[in-house]
Structure 1
């Protein structure tokens, strides 16, 4: 199938994903193959794939709460058959929350609710989200700049689970499920062998792999690469990413899978090489970088996660929480340290002045560290908080990843509020 002009510009880097999101915001169908479509509503909502079978529809994922109804409406514009089976590629809400709308429709029609199939760990993830509901709400609100956000919980759990692989036959369609660990420990990629269609879930997301989120549980960079290599061996003719447009053609599908694997393998290999020589986390962070030719790939841009965050996650996976700095093993409180440093510097305002100068000189990282010491030493000083807000804004403006911008913005807002008193 010939790709559309917008896809070609996304592929060569002359268009940004924001343009594609605008183009599909009304709810767009990609005709993947005979009796298979993928529905898109926005980049930030996972894609939903519908497969028409003689027993009813099979859906791969279900969208997030805000887009669940529009997504189902788009599916219904294509086929009005009962939904027989839903496959969750993992337990994140932008892939599972639409099951509520689907169940409501089944109840209204007086037909059976679809069975849900997923990896065994999806239930455990959903249970964990309920146990840490307050924290998840805070973190998601910070990450997506939505103060007061309430994380949706209570999605229906899977009816059938599997561990490593599962082969299904539904209405004449063979569907193979494979488990892997990447962004999550409960991830599934879906393979239609007779069609050579691969639905990767969030193993492929049209940006640099999201394996280093600063406020989320452990991610699995090395195993993510293994899963991408498994997919590469399948030689798909069509690749349906978890986020972003469908990729047609074996050559491009394999390139996307291969390049993602190589990027992750590089970070894991270089991080481990230094760790095996006894390097502390700071040394690793200063030394391990992704080659620029990898970051130049339009589908590996570090726009959401940051490769530096991945290095931290890799280090943590192999080494635990201690970073190798003895001052961090049993540290003094942040306030005690800040007061001591401020005293040595001649006061918290001296620290703030120095932070401002560093920021103006382009040393944003150091400036943020110094201004946070000043803030901790004098949290009620309005002038220091105003300087803090300005320093953080400069750092935000120079940050490439959405996560980095979002988390820094949390503290910029806090500083502006304190500056007003």
Structure 2
């Protein structure tokens, strides 16, 4: 099947992104325009775009550690010119880590290392990753089901930084950089005005915007929407997402940008409306939903992040960490609360049994609440931990987002281990 045919199936929803990932796993080139290609190796690695200029190649992003060499090899099959400039669209490792391979190649060839250009906050992000190295390793290992994972740090930091906007003129090519906050506070989207080519970075990722990750720092749904609107106004003829296939045609590119903006704007607007009426976080979570017509779009599927997580992030951005429940302002220790409730119920086993019954009735959320309390009350009881694991598996099975499944699985594995101890 040709890339064009597969794209049409992705666009109309008859193909899953996993099929595209398999199709590009060898290292695929998409010819974006004359002297511009985008390289893909997997959905989970950021796209890398190469621009041929008279001064050398300009790269937008560099891939992740596992695919960096493969990506560079694919670029070299297209052009062997020195790499003059690298633009980081943001500081996540699946976009920055390939610089190590690129620098090593330059050293072997006796060439200067390419300069790196990025938003000012990329360097701050890299420093934060070093400061929280243990935590980042733990969280990434949980989120991607890689126990023992060690987060790679030490990537070379930008040589030149900018704040809001920067225009580059390299070998006859004008390249404009724009800053926005979305998944990160250091994000850049790249615009080639003479080509009408837009590289969005992770503002566009072929799934619902990743603005609610439960174990990551604050994300910026409202500003993400504003950045998408700013891109839409450019009227790109080609849209290169941070993840997923390139989108050709002004109509489709505009639709993708507009739909993403509208979905985010809806969540922000409805969350603020309830917040301004004094609603608690619990009330807001029950009251704010994404309209079904957005979630039905193949490029806005809630497969990675969950819109409910985004609502939490929006609330936190405007209202802080307190959720409006007095019991959560200075809460009792979980173990103490669990022991008290277990006593009232007639024992932790009663809580666990009720949790299992609720899970069987389809009330998975309430079931997990009780199962976790039972497990906290009797952490060394193998039978209770086995029930806890079973209840968690029920919720995992009902969870649509990869992120939700991954974090729930952390506790399911813990409960399973305790049940066998």
Alignment of 1:194-205 (within 5 A): 194-205=194-205
Distance 1:252 1:370 in 2: 47
Alignment of 1:92-111 (within 5 A): 92-111=92-111
SS of corresponding position for 2:384 = helix
Q: Which residue of 1 aligns with 2:393?
A: 393
1:111-161 Cα deviation digits (max 9, x unpaired) = 000000000000000000000000000000000000000000000000000
Q: Which residue of 1 aligns with 2:132?
A: 132
Stretches of structure 1 lacking an aligned partner (at least 5 in a row): none
Alignment of 1:252-291 (within 5 A): 252-291=252-291
SS of corresponding position for 1:200 = strand
SS of corresponding position for 2:138 = helix
Alignment of 1:25-40 (within 5 A): 25-40=25-40
SS of corresponding position for 2:184 = coil
SS of corresponding position for 1:359 = helix
Q: CA deviation at 1:3?
A: 6.7
Q: Which residue of 2 aligns with 1:177?
A: 177
SS of corresponding position for 1:29 = strand
Alignment of 1:13-412 (within 5 A): 13-412=13-412
Distance 2:151 2:391 in 1: 31
SS of corresponding position for 1:76 = helix
Stretches of structure 2 lacking an aligned partner (at least 5 in a row): none
1:33-65 Cα deviation digits (max 9, x unpaired) = 000000000000000000000000000000000
Distance 2:339 2:386 in 1: 19
Distance 2:249 2:212 in 1: 30
Distance 1:58 1:212 in 2: 32
SS of corresponding position for 2:211 = coil
SS of corresponding position for 1:313 = helix
Distance 1:16 1:3 in 2: 14
SS of corresponding position for 1:4 = helix
Q: Which residue of 1 aligns with 2:416?
A: 416
SS of corresponding position for 1:374 = helix
CA gap of 1:101–1:3, structure 2 versus 1, over 3 A, is closer
Distance 1:281 1:365 in 2: 16
Distance 2:391 2:28 in 1: 41
Distance 2:139 2:170 in 1: 39
Distance 2:70 2:181 in 1: 30
Q: CA deviation at 1:302?
A: 0.2
Distance 2:50 2:36 in 1: 6
Does the aligned pair in 2 maintain the 1:43–1:243 contact within 8 Å?
Answer: yes
Distance 1:366 1:71 in 2: 46
Does the aligned pair in 2 maintain the 1:3–1:248 contact within 8 Å?
Answer: no
Runs of 4+ in 1 over 6 A off after TM superposition: none
1:323-381 Cα deviation digits (max 9, x unpaired) = 00000000000000000000000000000000000000000000000000000000000
The two structures have a TM-score, normalised by structure 1, of 0.99
Distance 1:252 1:271 in 2: 29
The two structures have a TM-score, normalised by structure 2, of 0.99
Does the aligned pair in 2 maintain the 1:221–1:314 contact within 8 Å?
Answer: yes
Q: Provide the alpha-carbon RMSD of the alignment.
A: 0.7
1:244-281 Cα deviation digits (max 9, x unpaired) = 00000000000000000000000000000000000000
Does the aligned pair in 2 maintain the 1:174–1:193 contact within 8 Å?
Answer: yes
Does the aligned pair in 2 maintain the 1:182–1:221 contact within 8 Å?
Answer: yes
SS of corresponding position for 1:189 = strand
Does the aligned pair in 2 maintain the 1:199–1:241 contact within 8 Å?
Answer: yes
Does the aligned pair in 2 maintain the 1:382–1:418 contact within 8 Å?
Answer: yes
Distance 1:75 1:398 in 2: 41
